[in-house]
Structure formats: C-alpha cells, structure tokens
Chain A
C-alpha cells in the first residue's frame, strides 16, 4: 500500500475547517475495493487521493510461470465483467507474435461475441451507475438484459462470467446450434429495452441535475492523462481502436462512433448508450455475413512465441486494453504487462472531482467505469 498523500490523522470536527474522509475499501459505491481519501471543506472536495492494490493477485507474475495457452483463463479475471475482450487481447497478441493466421469464421464469431460482451459490460455499468445515483429499478432491468447475454455465453463457451472464450488460433468449438436464433432474439428485443432506459433516465430532470456538468474533462486534458474508451469519446476526441487499428472482423464492419461535446457525466452516459446501439448494429451485420469454414487454426505442439517483444491493444468496453509480451523464445513468456484502461482512467478522478461535492464523487467514479480487477491485476 503506497503512502497516501493526504494525512489521515484524526482531527476533531470542531477545530479545523477541513475534514479528511475515507471512502474505504469496503464501500457499496466504489465498484470494487478502491479506497478514496478525500479532503473536504464542508461538503466540497478540495483534494483526493486513491489507494489501490487491495485486489492485487500477481497476474503478471503468474504469467511468467505458465505456458502461453494456459495464461488465457487468468486473463478473464482482469476485467471480470467483460471477460471475453480480455481473452481476446491475450489471444490476438500471441497469434500476432507467432504470425498465426486465424480463419475468417473465427474472426466474425469473435466480433459478434466481443460486441455482445461490450453490451453486457455497458449494461452493468448502466445498472451500477443508476444505482449509485438512486434509480434502483434500472439496475434490475439492465441485469435482466445482461442475463440474456450471459445465457448465450454459457451455451457457447460453457461459463457465464469468466469464459475462457478464445484459444490461440481461433475458438475451441463452433457456434452452438441455436446460436443464430438466440442472438437474433436478443438483438430484436434490445432496442426497445434501451428506449425504456432512456425513458426513465435521459430526460429526467433529477438525472440531469445529478449528471450534467459533473466531472467535466476537456478533450486536450483527457488526451494528456491518457484516457481511452467512452471516457475519452465523451470529451469529443474521436479515437476508437476498432476504427484506427482494426482487429478481428472490424475492418469489414460498418458502424459509427458516438462522440460527446462537453466531457461531463451526462455525455459519457449518452455515449455509452449509443455505443450499445452501435454494438447491436455490428452484431447484426456480422451475423448476416458470417462466413463458413473452420474456426481454429493448426497449432504447433507447444505454442512458443519468437523472441522479442510485441504490444497489441483492442477496444475493451472500458477503454483501450493492451498486452505487452516480452518473449525469450521458450514456452513461457519472459514478462507480460497489461495496459489496463481503468488504471489509466482512474488518474483522471482527482481532476474531475475537485470542486464538486461529496455526493458527486460517487457519480464520477461510476462514470469512469472502473473495475478493480484491472487496476490491481
């Protein structure tokens, strides 16, 4: 645990004008074990420091002692809400290092399932964000949609949450029999549900009062900090790894990127809702154009990457997740480093929170969409 910069000594309430408040690691609204130490002047936040590391499990060290194909199940546990995209970044990095061609059907299925995973992650974001601000019903409705996606994952991969979805070279199994029917049923119902969430939240005056103008970060500031994902696009910066460096089948897909204007919480909320619509659009396109063929490539007996280093990143729901592998030619990597989007996004928390009230800190943590599994690894 690093030394927190704000002194946490007990000062009596009546003596000093400032108060140090600890939103401790056990807290319903910090989306994991995050400790935020606030210095308050009354109710206004004047300083903020985050203390992370409560969920550190040593994933990068574990990866140094496992073979390349055995590391993939660990990577699901990074961003455990959107495990499919974590698996994808690992598997694609290894494939690109090995220059292993992946069949097109696998690329399309990866696209479909990764976009469903993006919708699932954004649904959970919406659920918890609305819960923190007080609209509790949206939590239950969004979890119902997410449940449909998790059922598809269970039938396809065998697990709902930590799926171990991909293997180096493709997928272990082809799409199950009712795959197309289930996915089409989901995509048919989904726009109506999104409209329901918008009815309850988007025009609601209480929601607007709680989210407009809260946690503003401008485009240049966001780039300076290194934000990515919807947090960056909410500030108007047009950057999406799916467009700028396409991977899987995104090069063939036709979709738009929503961009916000003001960089506040409301814009990020609208951006994520619109991203869910665009993800649905991608899923329908990919499903319509799904090619035939095998779903996995021929692998050597032991998967080895050539010596050297390689970095590859994809657009995870939370931002740009990257994987940097340093290999020494053996069956186990020499060093693996994850570029977690939530870790970088969390650095913007102080800038976004200073000047706002304590109740807004919860809303801002929610809008950054962090997951501690990624931050602490």
Chain B
C-alpha cells in the first residue's frame, strides 16, 4: 500500500468533512507533509543552534547565550535578520538561474523526507518500494543547484568553487550508492520501511553485518555534504566562500538550510539502513500490549535519537579534525572509498552465499526463510557478523596493497624527528662587567 491510512481518531474526525478516499490520498498526506516540513525545518534551525553550542563546549566557551534563555531563540533571531537583509543580485548575473538555484537545493533536500520512515505505521508519508533509489536520485539533484549557483553568480571564484564542490559531491555519491548495496543484500528490498522491517524481524541492526558499509556510507555522506574534514571548497578561504559567495540574506540561508537538511537526510538514511531506523529491541512490547499509537510515537522518538547521535558525530568531526586538501579529498573518494565499497559488495555476497550454503551442513540451521528480509537464526547471524568484521580487515588489507604508492599512505606515523641540542654559549652582547 502506497499511502498508509491516518490514525483512527483523526480519521474519524476528518470523515465528517471528506470522503475516505479524499482523506487517504489528499488530506492526510497534506497533514503529514506539513508536519514533516515543520519538523525538519525546526530541526535544521535548531541543528545550527546545537552546532554552535556543541562546538562552543568543545572549545571551552559558551556559545549563544544572549537571545532567549541559553540562547535558544538564536535561530529565530538569525532567521529574522536574514529575512530583512537587502535582496542583492550581482550586476551581470543570470537573474532567473540565480533566483532559482537556492530553491532547487532546498527542494531536493526536503523531498527526500517523503520516503524516510520516521516510525512504523502512519509515520511515513509515502512508503515507496524503491525508496532508497529515490533518496539517492533526488539528493543528486542538489548538485545541480550548486553548479547553477556558481555559474549564475558571474564571478570567477564562485564558479570555480561551485565546480569543485559539485565534482566532490558527484564522486562521493558513487561511493555512497555502492556502499548501500551490501546492506541491501541483507534487506532484499529497496523500500526504506522494508529495510527497517527486515532489521526488526531479524532483531538485529545491519551495522553488525556491515561495519565496513556503515563507515563507508558515513564517510562518503560527510563528504557529500561538504562537511569537515572534507569542506575545502567552501571553508578554505582562498576561494572566499565557494559557490555561495554572491548570495546574501534569505537566499544564502536557503543554501545553508539545504546543507543542514542534507546532513539530516544522510543521518536519517544511515540510521534507517544500518542502525535499525525506528526499531529498538523492546519497544515492540508496547504494540503487543495494545498501545498502538504510543508504540508509533516511541518509535518516532527512537528514530530521532539515532539521527541526533549521527548528527552529533557530524559536529564532533567538524570541530576536531583538520581538513583535507582538494586533491587528497578526491584521492580518498576514488582510490579508497569506491574500491572499498566494491570489495564490500563482493564480501557481502560471499557472506550470504556462505549462509545459504552452510544451511543443513552438520545440522546447522542458518535461516528460516529468505523471501522478505533474511530471517537468520542465531548461527546464521553469527556467520554474517564474523564476515562483517573480517570484511573490515580484508578491505583494509586490499586497500593498502592497491594504494601502496600513495604519498599520504606512506607517511605513516612520524617519529618526532626533531632533536634537542645544547649549543655552546657565545660571547654575550655586553661584557659581564657591565651587567
């Protein structure tokens, strides 16, 4: 079923005004979209606040404190400030493209939320059975917005910055897509709700089967979002601010929101595919006990907590690690992540094949059935987990063989190669008798 029906109380209320069909296909999705857009917009705004606070705590300072108690109204103040700024379009800029580029970025970041499962029953807007493909495809449209923004600004530096950012994003999208395939082999479906269901029915999180896949997805996701340590195109000041140099006011803030929304998307997809989405081991007891709506709301909270943890990792990495240079960045994307993702796919396939092959060998039962999701038994899970962990080591070993000539790889850990010498003292500038 493509569109899930609304909760029963609300359904009964709406039935007084509309027919059931209108509700299911029109009114309820509108309500859901409204809620999701509001939620995501607030989340994005407060993600900027949290970033400032968390970065401040890591740096032994306070962060925003003046606007509202503990600075909680800071995003709202920022929004108002950006709204009332002068709407400035550079002189020879391509007006319509300049106008539309931020909207394309924001739209592509927000459309993805329509397929992400926030919770089990009615907490998904559209449970499309190619959900993951839609996510990857629509987030690629965001790259178009970058190029358009850089081009239409009529500035040498904005154009170069835009091209570099988009080249980086495109390279890492390949790695992102490939790294997801390993988990898909275990889930047997592209629908995001189905992936969560597969993890739920198996009572396992795919990160245990696919640690390499999780790491690869996270790293390529961070690079996709142009976040540190991969943020050279936008933070390194030799090209000022990259593609959004010429943007100011609300248009700039739309790009900013698009960036943070894309971060939330990557975190949500990582949480869904690898960390079990809204599934948490003991929450199902609420459903079994009959509290259906409470179950959905608790699952929603579980999902939000997981996404927040991954967002914290984003902030943590940004404020600790230095950034890569652009050529090192592209090196990592093409020479390390993509081969690792391919090796990961091969190893996952071997893992599943092994699980199937070992079924019945020495009376070992490794799976129940394989149609929807995997449903492995404990022995099957153990085999898959062992393959997952071994995969990390095998991938690392193969990568080190492939990249044996890479300069950065050969740096290893330097010994401290400074030495302390105690030079003989020379003649002082003034003789001792004068001192």
Closest to A36 in B: B238
Stretch in contact with the other chain, from B88-96, B177-185, B372-380, B418-426: B418-426
B327 at the interface (CB under 8 A from A): yes
Contact of B321 among A202, A206, A362 (CB under 8 A): A206
- Give the docked Cα–Cα distance between A13 and B150 (Å): 14
A144 at the interface (CB under 8 A from B): yes
Given contacts A259-B419, A260-B418, contact A102 B324 (CB under 8 A): no
B contact residues around A376 at 8 Å (CB) = none
- Give the docked Cα–Cα distance between A287 and B413 (Å): 37
**Closest Cβ–Cβ distance, residue A324 to chain B (whole Å):** 14
In the complex the two chains form, is B326's CB within 8 Å of A238's CB? no
In the complex the two chains form, is B228's CB within 8 Å of A134's CB? yes
B87 at the interface (CB under 8 A from A): no
A307 at the interface (CB under 8 A from B): no
A contact residues around B413 at 8 Å (CB) = 203, 208
What's the tally of chain A residues with a CB closer than 8 Å to chain B? Answer: 67
In the complex the two chains form, is B156's CB within 8 Å of A205's CB? no
In the complex the two chains form, is A134's CB within 8 Å of B235's CB? yes
In the complex the two chains form, is B320's CB within 8 Å of A135's CB? yes
**Closest Cβ–Cβ distance, residue B195 to chain A (whole Å):** 33
In the complex the two chains form, is B428's CB within 8 Å of A134's CB? no
Stretch in contact with the other chain, from B53-61, B111-119, B200-208: B53-61
Contact of A243 among B228, B238, B407, B425 (CB under 8 A): B425
Contact of B61 among A140, A203, A247, A262 (CB under 8 A): A140
Q: Mark A252-292, 1 if CB is under 8 A from B, else 0.
A: 00111111111000110011001000100000000000000
Q: Mark A216-243, 1 if CB is under 8 A from B, else 0.
A: 0000000000000000000000101001
- Give the docked Cα–Cα distance between A133 and B238 (Å): 12
**Closest Cβ–Cβ distance, residue B328 to chain A (whole Å):** 6
In the complex the two chains form, is B237's CB within 8 Å of A29's CB? yes
A107 at the interface (CB under 8 A from B): yes
B contact residues around A361 at 8 Å (CB) = 238
Given contacts A43-B327, A133-B322, contact A245 B238 (CB under 8 A): no
Closest to B231 in A: A134
Q: Mark B407-418, 1 if CB is under 8 A from A, else 0.
A: 110010110111
A contact residues around B429 at 8 Å (CB) = 92, 96, 245-247, 312
Q: Mark A22-33, 1 if CB is under 8 A from B, else 0.
A: 010001110000
Closest to B237 in A: A28
**Closest Cβ–Cβ distance, residue A162 to chain B (whole Å):** 25
In the complex the two chains form, is A144's CB within 8 Å of B60's CB? yes
Given contacts A206-B321, A245-B427, contact A141 B59 (CB under 8 A): yes
Contact of B426 among A28, A141, A244 (CB under 8 A): A244
- Give the docked Cα–Cα distance between A240 and B7 (Å): 78
Contact of A274 among B324, B418, B426, B435 (CB under 8 A): B418
**Pairs across A and B, CB under 8 Å, 13 listed:** A92-B429, A101-B435, A136-B55, A137-B58, A137-B59, A139-B59, A212-B414, A244-B426, A245-B426, A255-B422, A258-B420, A261-B419, A357-B325
